Structures are given as C-alpha cells and as structure tokens.
Amino acid sequence: MILGSTSILYDSGMYGSVVQPLLTDLYQITMCYGYWRSNKHNQNSVFELFFRKNPFKGEFTIFCGLRDVIVFLENFTITDEDVQYLKSVMPDAEPEFFHYMQSLDPKQMKIRAQKEGSVCFPRVPLITLEGPLALCQLVETTLLTLVNFASLVATNAVRYRLAAGDDKILLEFGLRRAQGPDGGLTASKYCYVGGFNATSNVLAGKMYGIPIKGTQAHSFVTSFSKISELKEQKTTLKSKNGAQECDLVDLTIKYLEDVKNVLEIPEIHEGELASFIAYACAFPENFLVLIDTYATLGSGIASFLAVALALDHIGYRATGVRIDSGDLAYQSHVVHDKMCLVADRLGVEWFKTGLTIVASNDLDEETLYSFRNQDHKINAFGIGTNLVTCLNQPALGCVYKIVEIEGRPCMKLAQEVGKMTFPGNKKVYRLQGSQGTAILDLISTEHEPKPEINQPVLCRDPFTATKRAYCKPSSIQELLVPVWDENGCVEPVQTLQEVREFVLESLKSLRADVKRKLNPTPYKVSLSNKLFDFMHDQWLQNAPIGQLD
C-alpha cells in the first residue's frame, strides 16, 4: 500500500548537517597545509574521479551521486567552529592558514562530469575537476564518499531489476539491515534510482518523494489468539458505495466455510484469522497480509481468501499476500492455484489476476534468476539485506587522482599496471553503432579534434600495443559535460525521477551480452592513438631504470 507522497524533493535535508568540508580524511587538510606552506595552493590542477573495476563480477556500473556533490558544493562553508577544531588538531599550523581555509570557494573550480544515471566503465573519468590545487585536493574524500556507495547500490539495484524482469514489482525493505541511518537513506534513494518501485523507509519517502509501501510483520499476526478479541473493536465497515454497513467478522466467518470446503482445509488458526479481519478493518482498500506465520498453504491462504471474499461482498478488492519463508517459488504456484480455484467455484473472477503475491526472505540476485527458471507466480519481491549492504561486494573502489598541474601532465606509476593513471586533461566519447548501442568509450587528449561520424577512428588498448582496431561510429556522444563553474551549478540539477528514467534509457544503449550475469562480454575502453603514444612516452620518461646484479 502506498502511504506517502510521490513528489520529488530537492534533497539537501540529510546532507545539511552531515556532509560538510570536515567530512574528509585528515591527510586532505594536512596536504592543503603543505601546499599552502609551499606556495603551491593556487596552482592550477586537474583531478579525475574514476574506478578501476566493475562491481559484482559484471561489465557495467551506474554513475550516481552527482546531485549530492552539487548540494555539497552549494553548501560548502568552513565555520568558525570548524576552525577552532582544526586548530586543536593542528596546533603547530600558522594561524594565517586557517584564514585561508575559510576563504576557499568551490566556484573557483570548473567541473565536468558524466550525466548522472549513465552506464559507465573502468578508468573512464566520472568527474573531472580543474582549479586551485589545495581546493581540489580538499574535496577528494567527500566526493568519493558521495559517489562510491551511491553508484554501487544503484548498480546493485539495476542488477536485481535485470534478474527479476521488467514486469515485476521490486520493493526495498533494507533499512533495518543497512549500515546505519545514513546508509539506509542512501540505499533507499539509489535503489529507487536503480529501478526499484518503492521502499519501506518512511523517512526516505518524506525526504526524496520515493513511493513507500509496507504491510505487517509476524508480530501483528501472533498478537491475536481468538476471534472473540475483536468484539471490543470496531469491526463494522461501510460498503465502498456507502449503501450498507456490515460486520466484517460475521461476513468473513460466513465465507470461511465456503473456502474451507473448496480448498479442503479442515481447520484454520483462529488468531491468524482474527488478525486478518482486524487488518482488513483498518485497511479495506489495501488489504495485503503475511500468510506464513502458521501454515502458508493451509490456514494462511484460507484465512486470507475468506477475508478477501468478505471485502469483495461490500465492494472492496483485497491487494494480496506476502510469503516470507519456505520454498517461495513452489508456494507461489500453490497459492495462485488456490486463488484460481476459489475464483472458479465461488464466482470471483478477478481473484485470478487481481491478487498480488509478494515474496521476501533474504532474497538475492541468484535467487531471482532461479525463480525465473521455475515459472513462478510471484508478482513482487521485497528485498533487504543483500541489496542495501551490497553483500557480494561492499565497496566500488572509486579513486581520485591528479592528472595535471600547471599544464604539466601527471602520471602515477605502479608495479601493478592496473593502478597506473592516464596523464593529462582529457575528453571522453562514447562511439555508437547503427543500432544505437555503444561500441566503446574512447579517451583522447584535451586538444584533439572530436572523432567524426562514419569516419574510421583508431582505438588503442591502453596497455597492449598490438591490441588496436578501427571503429566507424554512426553516432558520437561526448561524455564529460560542464556541470559547475564560477557561477555554481551550470544547469538545474536533475530530479531523482529524472535520474531514474535516465538509468533505464542508458541501459538500453548496452548490448544484452554486456548486461548478462553469466560471462558478460567485456566493454572496451580505448585510448586515441595520440593519447596512447603520449602515455607510453610519459611512462618511459618517469619509470626508473632497474639494475640486475
């Protein structure tokens, strides 16, 4: 049942008190002091935020968190209270440094980024920042924490959507298992962006305009023991058209005998039936109950159908049932069959297609794929722990590296080739084929001309000289676009709903074999011929020559 507003809010609320300049690692501030003492703090620099490997053994990632980055920058302030604290942890720093810190203004930076909700790939910059060295350095950790988990959980949600299929309802039920309240809110927000239909998180609904849904737990069912408990409660309901008033207890008991005869169920649990009647009295328009407290295929489904028939008698349509234990695929078949049998025998045709079966119980991506192979009858999935904690991979691993200082390209070398960076300020293009699907992402130097449509482009593997190919794109998309300059945000920030819609649009640009779970095809990220040569020249110039003894 939807219990909250679906309007989209500009979500500065959660971050107003938590995401601030001091939400960073100490070494960002100590480096800023080092830059300032060395008079390097205002040198023009370029930094890139990217990741090195797709999560969940997949071949794509969803870029999220840009909206939160913009909110952070718009509210960037180092307060007097912040300065007093910094002085206490850096007692030997010169006082003028703290005056400098308070003068920092994010509008001194220029930022380009991929569009939020884009499918993205390893080593391709998600965000590029250009501006004073100390300022660009200071925001590193904050940007990483805003982008890392948002992108990870959105990617996880998309994978669950692909596993479940487009026709299923996905409900995020993870708040109680999330990594603290901020993790719970972030997860709810970006699971919705990644394709989930609703959340159980009421605060997320209030703050972000996400649809909220929820029903009941076993405690509600087990809190009732007898029908007689309902005598002290109001169990009369007006029919939906207001023409009559009926006692739902009497009406349910009347239909219960019919249901028991049709389903050949001799006994039901009286407390369970009482709890369902009480819940129906409270929510006649949205009657969806948990039926596995005692016997899913016995008392649970029979009691539900008796109450559903009583509600139907006075003009209301029950919503459905939730199953939270046992063999969910098998039980969904049996529950659906019983619904159809009662529909045929008692003449309530809409029971066949109008009742929802919701499944929950620590579901994961593999289970959803398994269900698809069992031709299950589940309409909606409630997913919590494995989704919001990203149990299969708890971190994305975004990094933030300097690539240029005062026009001089910078390059990180390492014994692990995978940790090397591409030097210099760059541009990124997505080359697409005639069917509109992406062929590869091409990274070029800043001043190279843009590739041309229907003209061959030489694309190089970053680390293997013999891996090269020509690509003749039918369309070309420049991925890094301006989002922030001296005036602040360049364009209005996308709403959460717009980001959600763009995720679905962006996914359509990927071939099915790149998105599949089992042995997905690696997506190519290539360098232009000029950038390849330049990077390898820099590599040779900066790599020390070893000595063999």
Q: Which residues, listed in sequence order, are joined to residue 170 by a DSSP beta bridge?
A: 381
Specify whether the CB–CB gap between 407 and 44 falls below 8 A.
yes
**Domain endpoint, select from 325, 359, 388:** 388
Q: What one-character DSSP code corresponds to residue 509?
A: T
Same domain assignment for residues 234 and 383: yes
**Domain endpoint, select from 388, 423, 446:** 388
Same domain assignment for residues 307 and 329: yes
The reply to whether 127 falls in a domain is yes
Rounded to whole angstroms, what are the CA distances from 213 to 237, 467, 470?
24, 51, 51
Same domain assignment for residues 405 and 371: no
The reply to whether 549 falls in a domain is no
Same domain assignment for residues 411 and 334: no
Residue among 390, 359, 476 nearest 427 (CA): 476
Say which residue the tokens 């006075």 belong to.
314
Q: Which residues, listed in sequence order, are joined to residue 380 by a DSSP beta bridge?
A: 169, 358
Cα dihedral 189, 207, 496, 148, rounded to 10, equals: -40
Q: Quote the CA–CA distance of 245 and 252 in Å, as a whole number.
A: 14
Same domain assignment for residues 426 and 515: yes
327: domain range? 157-388
Specify whether the CB–CB gap between 164 and 381 falls below 8 A.
yes
Global confidence as pTM: 0.94
118 token code pair: 């884009």
What does the pLDDT profile of the chain (549 residues) look like in tens digits? 333 333 333 354 444 468 999 999 999 999 999 999 999 999 999 999 999 999 999 999 999 999 999 999 999 999 999 999 999 999 999 999 999 999 999 999 999 999 999 999 999 999 999 999 999 999 999 999 999 999 999 999 999 999 999 999 999 999 999 999 999 999 999 999 999 999 999 999 999 999 999 989 999 999 999 999 998 778 999 999 988 899 999 999 999 999 999 999 999 999 999 999 999 999 999 999 999 999 999 999 999 999 999 999 999 999 999 999 999 999 999 999 999 999 999 999 999 999 999 999 999 999 999 999 898 999 999 999 999 999 999 999 999 999 999 999 998 887 677 788 999 999 999 999 999 999 999 999 999 999 999 999 999 999 999 999 999 999 999 999 999 999 999 999 999 999 999 999 999 999 999 999 999 999 999 999 999 999 988 888 877 888 888
Same domain assignment for residues 122 and 175: no
Q: Quote the CA–CA distance of 325 and 173 in Å, as a whole number.
A: 15
Same domain assignment for residues 506 and 458: yes
Same domain assignment for residues 306 and 370: yes
Same domain assignment for residues 378 and 411: no
The reply to whether 107 falls in a domain is yes
Q: Quote the CA–CA distance of 372 and 237 in Å, as a whole number.
A: 40
Specify whether the CB–CB gap between 467 and 460 falls below 8 A.
yes
Secondary structure of residue 88 in the 3-state scheme:
helix
The reply to whether 487 falls in a domain is yes
**Domain endpoint, select from 328, 355, 388:** 388
Helices 140-164 and 180-193, axial angle in degrees (round to 10): 50
Burial class (CB in 10 A: 0-12, 13-18, 19+), 450: exposed
Task: Give the number of domains in the chain.
Answer: 2
> Which CATH number belongs to the domain containing residue 220 in this structure?
3.20.20.70
Same domain assignment for residues 272 and 213: yes
> Which CATH number belongs to the domain containing residue 451 in this structure?
3.20.140.10
The reply to whether 5 falls in a domain is no
Q: Quote the CA–CA distance of 433 and 14 in Å, as a whole number.
A: 42
Longest dimension (CA), the chain: 99
